[in-house]
Structure 1
Amino acid sequence: MKNINSIKNRISVRSFKDRELSESLTKQIQELVNKRYVGPFGNEIKFKIIDTKSRELASLGKMTSYGVIKGARLYIVGYCKPDNESLYDYGYCLEELILDLTDLNVGTCWLGGTFGRGFISKAVDLPDNMVIPAITPIGLIHEKRKFSDKLVRYIAKSDKRKTHDQLFFNLNKSGDVSVLDFNENKPNVTQLLEMVRIAPSASNKQPWRIIVNRSSLHLYWDYDQAYNSGIKSHNIQALDMGIALSHLKISADDLGISNSFSVNNPNIDNVSWNYVGTFNIGE
C-alpha cells in the first residue's frame, strides 16, 4: 500500500530491461490499472496498458519518446478533458498508480511532453474533446543508466529541489504572508510539506506554493505562462498540482492525520499565485 516510503522511493526510470514481465507481476500491474481512480475534484480517470510493439498496433507506426526512454515497450495511458480541474485529477490519479507500481519495484517515468501523441492517441482511440496529458512507461529497471538517461536528469535538474523557503509560507494573525518557519510548526505539518517538496514535476519546476493557516494548507499554483504555452491543448503544470495534492493525501493517511479537501478561496491579500484548493488537517 502506497505510503511515505513509496514517495521517498519513487524515481524517474528511463532505462528498462528488454525483458518481459513475469505472469504474476503482469497480473498485479493489471489489477492496479483496473482500479477505480477518482481525483479530489470528482473526475474519474481510467487507465489502460499499451503494448507499443504488439501486432495490433503495428499499422500505427512506431512509438517514440524522442530518445528519452530506452528499452520499454509497455506504457500506461489515460485521458481526460483539457480543463484544469480534470488535469489536477489526472495528475493526482496517475501519481497514485505510479506510487503503487513503485511498491512493486516496477520502473515508471512521468512523460508529459516527450512522447508521440499521434501514435498514443490512435492506440487508445482518443475521444473528441479529450487530451492525453501524460503517460508512463512501465517495466523492469535496468541496473545501469544509459547516457541519455543521465543527460536528461542533468538537463532537468532532477536531483535538485527548491528549498522550503521558496515553496512554503505562513499566514500570520495580521493577515500577512511570510516564509514558513519549519522550527515553529508541528512535525506533522512539516512532514506533509516535505513530501510535497520532493514530488516530481514537469521540468522539475515545482510550481506549487502552500500557505499554512493553522490546520489549513492553501495550495497555490505559481503559473508559468510561457512554459504552459508549450503544449497548445492544455496546461501541463496543472498535473503537478494534482501530484502535490496526492502527496498530501497519501502522507496524511499514512501518518494517521484526519484530512479533507475543499475549494474555498481565502482571498489572501498580495498573493499573485493561482488558488487551487485547501487541504485541511486535524489539529
Structure 2
Amino acid sequence: MPQLQILRLRSNMFSGHIPDNLTCIVSLHYLDISGNNISGNIPWSLSDLKAMTTVISERTAEDYNFEESIPVIMKDQKRDYNFQLYKLLVNLDLSSNSLTGHIPEGISLLIGLTNLNLSSNQLMGEIPNQIGNLKHLESMDISYNEFSGAIPSSLSALTSLRHLNLSYNNLSGPIPSGPQLQILDNQMYIYSGNPGLCGPPLSRNCSANDGQQSGLEDMNHMSSVYLGTSIGFVVDLWIVFCTMLMKRTWRAAYFQFIDMIYDKVYVQVVVRWARLMKNAQDDAP
C-alpha cells in the first residue's frame, strides 16, 4: 500500500519488531504504533520514510483530504485535528512499547516531523546531537527511558518547539541555555527524574556539583593508590621471605648482613657515647 498516508495501530497487543518494509509506504506521514508490545531496536530504515523527509507546505497539503476529525496524542494532551490541520501533521509515535537500543542518528533526516514521541520504552545511550536538525518539531517526548549523558545543546535550535519532556532518564550535566528552551512551559517538569542534571531552572548548582564530583574522583584515586601500594608491599615482602625460606645460602647471607649492620651501628653508638662522656668530664670544673 505505497499510497497509505496514515497508519494508526495504537493500544493493541501487537508484538515483534518494527518491519523494515514500512519504508515502502512512500506517502506515510503519520505513524502511530504506541501502546503495544513492540520490541527490538528502532530501525535505521525509518529515516527513508519519504513523506517525513520533506516539509509539507500549505500548497502540497491540498493533496491530503480527510472528512473527519482524528484524535492525536500530542504535547501530553489528546486533541482532535480536523483535516485542515491534520494534513500538516507529520507524526512518529512509538511510545509505550518495549523498544531497546539507541535512537538512530538517521532519525534526524525526518526533517518534516512535527511530533516525535518515544516515551515509556527501554531506550538508552545519548540523545543524538543531530536531533537539532528537526527544525519543524513542535513536540518531543522521550521521557521514562534510560537515556544518559548530556542534553545536546542543539535542542535550543528547535525554534518551532512548544513541548519538551526529558523526565525520568539518567541524563547528567548542565541544562543547555537558549531562548527557545527558556520559553517552554513547566520547566521543572521537563527535567524531573534526572538527578545528574544541574543548572537553571533546577536549584542544583553546576559548579558545586562539579566540585563535589571532582572531590569524589580524587578520593577514589587516592584510595586506589594506597591500596595498590599496600598490595605491592605485601607481595614484595612475601617474595623475599619465601626466597630466603627456600634458599639456605641466601638466608645465611641475609643474617650475616644483619649482624654486620648491627655491629657497625653498635660500635658507632659506643664510640659516640664515649666521646660525649669524655667531653662532659673535661668541661667539669
TM class by shorter-chain length? under 0.3
TM-score, normalised to structure 2, is: 0.23
Larger Rg: 1 or 2? 2
Larger RCO (CA under 8 A, 6+ residues apart): 1
TM-score, normalised to structure 1, is: 0.23
Kindly indicate which of the two structures has a greater share of residues assigned to helix: 2
